Structure formats: C-alpha cells, structure tokens
C-alpha cells in the first residue's frame, strides 16, 4: 500500500545541547544530568506566529528520523514516513513537524553510551535512570529552543503515546491537541513481565559486563533475544499465522536439532540480529524501565486518573487497535472514560487491524484520515477558540 502524498525528501539530523553548567536537567529521581544533547529533525516550516508546530514522539526502538531520507542510498525512509510529508496526515506543506530522540536513547541523544564528562568514558550504568517525565522535560527545552511556546498537537504511539499523555498534564498550557495511539496510562503486570524478561536476557549475556562493555565485545546475543521477546508482543496471533503459520524455513522436513526449522524462528533471529546493529543494550534497559515506571494517575492524580487528566487543557483523539494485546483497547477505554469525567473534549476510535500492536506504524488509510482531519480542525481555529472550549 503506497502512502498518499509526497516525501519530505532529504533531511538532516540536528543536535541541540542544553543543561550546561549550573543549568543541569533535574530528574525525577533527584539526580541531575548535564550537559544533555537531543538529536532531532524537523519537517516543513514554522509559520510566522509559531502556531503550526506538531511534536511526534517515537516508540521504544524509534529515533528522531520520522520521515524522509538522509541520502539517495537509503533503503528505507523514516519510521513514520507514511504519515509525515506533503499532503499526508501530518501535512508538511501546512505543519512544522518536530521529532526528537529521547534522552537515554542511543541515536544521537545523551544516554548510557554517551561520554560522561566527569570520567571521559561512556556512562554505562552510571547514567541516571530516567522517566517519561524526564524525556518530556527535555523535549520541552527543545521545543522552546525552536521558538515554539505552544504546540498545535503532540502525537505518538506506544512509548510515544505515554509521552503524549505526560505532555498534556505536565505542560497543559503548551498543548492544543493530543493524539495518543496504542498506548496506556500505566503498564500492566504482563507488560512489565515481558520487559523484565527482555532485560534479564541482556544482563545474562556475559559480554554485558555489568553495563561496562563499550571497550570490548558487545552483548549482542542478549540484546537480540530481548528484541525477539519484544517483537512477539508487537505482533498478533493472526499476523503470525498469516505470515508464517508452521511453514518450514528452507527445508522439506524438520531437522531434529536446534536449527531454525520454522520460518517464524528464522524471522525472529533475523530481527534480533538486525536490531543489535543499530541499538545499544543499555539504552534498551533504561527505556523499558522508564516505560514500566510510567503511572500517570500516581504521578499527577494521587491515584485518580480523573484528577490527573483534570490538569489537561487540550482536545484528545485516542486510538486503539483491535488486535493489540500489549496495550489492549480496554486500557484506552478506561483512559478515555477518565478524560470525559474530567470534562475534556475527547474523540475515541478503535481501528480494526489484525497486525497487532505495531498497527500504528503501518500504512492505514483510516488512521491517516483521522489524524489529518483532527489536526486540521486546529489549524483552522484561532488558539483563543481552543482555549475557550477547554475552559
């Protein structure tokens, strides 16, 4: 399925460094981090009133490269290229789209693989544990650096959706519209369990070396297994049946050994190995921990999700997917119910998709239409109209 609209074309990764000297980033853990660098990309142009900025928040293994190409030799565009570009859902002919790699990441932003200025060596496990709130605080610094005092919209799926929700209650005056996709206000025991098994796979790799592996061999096997575990949760039973079923991989019969007999085994091994070529094992530990710690009602509502959302001032479009068993629809419905009880303007849609949690990353004309229409509402309104409706 081809995406509607055009490409943003060639793009460039930029770096923003802040929190230098006495202006350290104060983390929720109580620790301070300085300096901090965020890798980011922008698409489209900021209008003269700085009212058309949209922040896109990425999921666990994503980065700042949401759309376009770095060079003509790129095999794949950015991870959300189907939705970001001229004439697409996030229409860069009308919008100024920002996407940054989260703090604790490994795609240009400060994280455990970055050099600790106090030691001259990679942080490793000396890097402080960060939260979704810390990620959003760093994004706020970037947004303001780019000349934006209020975002037209914040949009993201999965871990990116958690960032969207955090934005709406941490900086309510800065968000006009919010679009959380395939996400939750808190991890279930099941989601925490999968993340913990994945972390243990990394830490059980002898080459992990208690996080201090940057001068030697990398814990590739542990990270590959962690990715395999995660990848299973991103798919669905129907998607795996349709794609693999019990078909054998390059053979006519079973091997009676521990080679990859089945296509699904070969696929997972390939995905795991490919992941080790671009991601840092320690970043995986830190980002999954941040997701597990996320608990919106505890952080902002003293245990009440309604009270947490009573801080928000924006309109919401919440989207879930029928086959997402990692963050199932019942979690989105509970979130939407709390938003409505808090008196917020909320639209909700459960999109039929049989591909699992990853559905928000894949081309979907219905999702694209909803995103474009919802954001278009706010482009056509004056900011004062939205503020009046939120009161």
Would you please indicate which residues are annotated as catalytic (active-site) residues? 158, 324, 357
Which neighbouring-strand residues pair with 85? 91
CA-closest candidate to residue 95, choices 154, 138, 26? 154
Name the pairing type of β-strands 36-43 and 14-18: antiparallel
Q: What residues contact 334, with CB distance under 8 A and at least 6 apart?
A: 185, 305
Phi-psi region for residue 314, left (φ > 0), alpha (ψ -120 to 50) or beta? Answer: beta
Question: Are 213 and 207 spatial neighbours (Cβ–Cβ below 8 Å)?
Answer: yes
Please, what sign has the CA dihedral across residues 165, 168, 169, 170? positive
The DSSP annotation for 162-197 comes to HHHHHHHHHSGGGBSEEEEES--SB--HHHHHHHHH
Residue 49 sits at φ, ψ, to 5 deg, of -95, 0
Maximal C-alpha separation, the chain: 69
Q: Which two tokens stand for residue 309?
A: 């959302």
């Amino acid at each position: 399925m081809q995406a509607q609209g055009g490409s943003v074309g060639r793009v460039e990764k930029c770096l923003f460094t802040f929190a230098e000297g006495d202006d350290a980033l104060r983390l929720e853990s109580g620790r301070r981090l300085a300096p901090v660098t965020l890798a980011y990309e922008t698409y489209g142009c900021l209008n003269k009133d700085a009212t058309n900025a949209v922040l896109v928040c990425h999921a666990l293994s994503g980065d700042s490269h949401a759309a376009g190409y770095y060079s003509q030799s790129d095999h794949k565009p950015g991870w959300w290229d189907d939705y970001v570009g001229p004439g697409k859902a996030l229409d860069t002919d009308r919008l100024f789209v920002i996407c940054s790699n989260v703090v604790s990441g490994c795609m240009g932003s400060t994280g455990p693989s970055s050099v600790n200025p106090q030691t001259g060596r990679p942080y490793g496990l000396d890097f402080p544990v960060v939260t979704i709130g810390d990620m959003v605080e760093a994004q706020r610094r970037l947004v303001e650096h780019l000349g934006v005092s209020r975002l037209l919209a914040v949009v993201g799926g999965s871990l990116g959706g958690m960032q969207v929700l955090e934005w709406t209650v941490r900086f309510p005056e800065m968000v006009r519209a919010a679009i959380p996709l395939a996400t939750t206000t808190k991890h279930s025991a099941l989601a925490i369990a999968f993340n913990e098994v994945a972390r243990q796979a990394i830490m059980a790799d002898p080459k992990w070396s208690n996080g201090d592996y940057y001068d030697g061999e990398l814990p590739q096997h542990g990270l590959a297994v962690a990715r395999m575990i995660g990848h299973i949760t991103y798919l669905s039973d129907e998607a795996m049946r349709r794609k693999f079923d019990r078909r054998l991989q390059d053979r006519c019969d079973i091997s009676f050994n521990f080679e990859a007999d089945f296509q699904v085994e070969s696929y997972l091994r390939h995905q795991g190995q490919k992941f080790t070529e671009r991601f840092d094992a320690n970043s995986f530990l830190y980002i999954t921990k941040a997701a597990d710690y996320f608990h919106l009602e505890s952080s902002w509502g003293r245990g009440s999700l309604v009270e947490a959302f009573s801080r928000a001032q924006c309109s919401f479009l919440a989207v879930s997917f029928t086959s997402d068993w990692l963050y199932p629809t019942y979690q989105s419905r509970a979130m939407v119910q709390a938003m409505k009880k808090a008196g917020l303007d909320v639209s909700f849609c459960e999109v039929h998709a049989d591909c699992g949690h990853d559905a928000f990353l894949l081309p979907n004309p219905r999702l694209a239409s909803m995103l474009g229409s919802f954001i278009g509402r706010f482009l056509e309104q004056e900011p004062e109209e939205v503020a009046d409706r939120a009161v």
